[in-house]
A and B are shown apart, each in its own frame.
Chain A
């Protein structure tokens, strides 16, 4: 395993009829890591992934993926990458085993190897009992395990996962992430897009995308530490009034309700004290306390104020 990054993107840009979906994206993804793309719908996650595996031609810019030039050398790149699409894209009218056999043939796995490989994948992803089932009749979690098994059948060095857990229950999600960590331990680089904070937090590295622009990147810890601003939690019986008092305040970047509390992102010099004073002035009975920033705060701050630099 060389030390050069798995992915280096330079000025990657894609326009669709004048609309910029991805805007001069620069990116570096180290090897054998799980790297996350965090962003709301329409932020350019899928478009970026498609460009990186050669499904879409960039309008501008290029990338080096596993040492292959994208978009020039995508044909050779394809044998070394796996791609799990957002929508289930295996054949629903083929059985689990038939789908895997098809992929084994398509990736030209050695015949002596193919059977054993399919057996191993079925064991790893708990598909043994489902081998004869039509893929279309599987549950969300089962489909996802099959899709992952299919995406890694040729032991790719780099795996792209586009919102892999959007149709899956929490337990299957945890399960799925365990599988991803095992793959990364085995040396596979994984690029995963998500809009779930808890998933993003599991990644080694993270890029936050907003409207096609990379607004922040780094490890989740570093991103939280670098948050420009502070978090103040407000507890009150009169949350609506408290919110009304805080939102127009200069220095308050965002207010979000979390159960019986408000989470206030602010760039005031003395956050808790100034918030408390504002609440008192407005005659709202409430108590304000400083709190540790979460990834969601980073996300909100990055996508709204674009206030985090990394």
Chain B
């Protein structure tokens, strides 16, 4: 059939061009590898070794003990000692320290009376990670014999982290990273695909041939779908080797989910391609679409923490659904059947964007 022949011709041409384009070919493999290593090692929500300063005005055996315990928790490294809390504040401001430990003169009296907190933690609230990390410090028990046993309270709840008992960041990051990396490469590839032909003058020839818009779009997408699958495999392998991230669900489910997500991202790129007239504009539009996807999808920040309108908007983004899908399949061992409510929005996104792209692309120059 001519339809398939022409689609295939476009796809084959695309592959041949891609093979000669060393930069893009390098990006296909290099980008996932680099991103994975960067994100995998750098994004560490398990914060340790914060620079800290101490102002121990009490100077008793108990207060020294508290400082030692804080140090031993590994959350902070004491790098400076001050005379007054005011000095700690100054250091916080100029960035010398991220945490200040202020122990007042009447530390032991406060401890005995237990009417107010015996000591103060000054923290750099401009960094969300610091705030999170020091929360555990605040509950540090003052393990001293003179304090009644009741003061060393046991926590009310015992915490059990399912699916990631060691609470390793890589396990949380890597699955979502598949989505982020696919978004970065897939949208960009197709966003420039048609504009490039326009810029180089190929489009003038192409639209004068019997190639139909659907055939052109299909032929353009097909090679990148394969590339998307290759990238998925690469990230999974690297995630396994470098970060020991398990795949608990079925691989088939994972690939089906990735396939639908890749198609959705490619169609978004195609749509961009029909909106712009230069490759530069295509780049800019693509990068503009990265930010909300990465920030609002739940990949970096908790989805439930966002206000209602932001959540409603995030539901429209393909990455939001894909992050839930991969976390479900890879970490929780869920089946696609259980996650259908996340799969169909992706399919719908693909159908809508590809239709709009085809409708917008006219086989004319005007």
Contact = CB atoms under 8 A, between A and B. Distances in A.
Given A55-B208, A93-B17, A108-B2, A85 B201 contact: yes
Contacts of B12: 102, 105
Contact of A105 (B9, B202, B366): B9
Contact of B208 (A53, A57, A88, A93): A53
Interface in B1-49: 2, 5-6, 8-10, 12-13, 16-17, 20-21
Interface string A58-92: 00000000000000000100110101010111111
B17 A94 contact: yes
- Size category of the binding interface on chain A: 20 to 34
A209 interface: no
A3 interface: no
B135 interface: no
Contacts of A54: 208, 364
A98 interface: yes
Interface in B138-185: none
A105 B8 contact: yes
Given A94-B17, A98-B13, A105-B9, A89 B201 contact: yes
Contacts of B16: 93-94, 98
A56 B204 contact: no
B17 A106 contact: no
B126 interface: no
A108 B364 contact: no
Contacts of A87: 201, 204
Give the interface size bracket for B toward A: 20 to 34
Contacts of A56: 364-366
A83 B363 CA distance: 15
B204 A85 contact: yes
Nearest to B362: A57
A253 interface: no
B210 A55 contact: no
A177 interface: no
B365 A108 contact: no
Nearest to B208: A83
A107 B208 contact: no
Contacts of A89: 200-205
B136 interface: no
Contacts of A83: 205, 208
Interface string A110-140: 0000000000000000000000001000000
Interface string B319-333: 000000000000000
A89 B209 CA distance: 12
A285 interface: no
Nearest to B212: A75
Contact of B365 (A55, A92, A106): A55
A74 B33 CA distance: 48
Contact of B205 (A50, A75, A90): A90
A214 interface: no
Contacts of B202: 89-91
B238 interface: no
Given A98-B16, A107-B210, A55 B204 contact: yes
Nearest to A105: B9
Most chain B CB neighbours (cut-off 10 Å) among A98, A106, A134: A106
Interface in A136-162: 150
Contacts of B347: none
Nearest to A76: B210
A93 B18 CA distance: 9
A79 B210 contact: yes
A175 B165 CA distance: 78
A93 B364 CA distance: 24
Contacts of B6: 105-106, 108
A85 B204 CA distance: 7
Contacts of B339: none
Contacts of A134: 20
A70 to B, nearest CB: 12
A206 interface: no
B70 to A, nearest CB: 62
A214 to B, nearest CB: 22
A188 B92 CA distance: 83
B20 A93 contact: yes
A93 B200 CA distance: 11
B211 interface: yes
B207 interface: yes
For the complex of A and B, 5 pairs with smallest distance between CB atoms:
A105-B9, A89-B205, A83-B208, A89-B201, A108-B2
Given A89-B200, A89-B204, A150-B205, 12 more contacts: A53-B208, A56-B365, A75-B210, A85-B201, A85-B204, A89-B202, A89-B203, A91-B17, A93-B20, A107-B210, A108-B5, A134-B20
Interface of A: 50, 53-57, 75, 78-79, 81, 83, 85, 87-94, 98, 102-103, 105-108, 134, 150
19 contacts: A50-B365, A56-B365, A57-B364, A75-B210, A78-B210, A85-B205, A88-B201, A89-B200, A89-B201, A89-B204, A90-B202, A94-B16, A105-B5, A105-B12, A106-B9, A106-B209, A108-B5, A108-B210, A134-B20
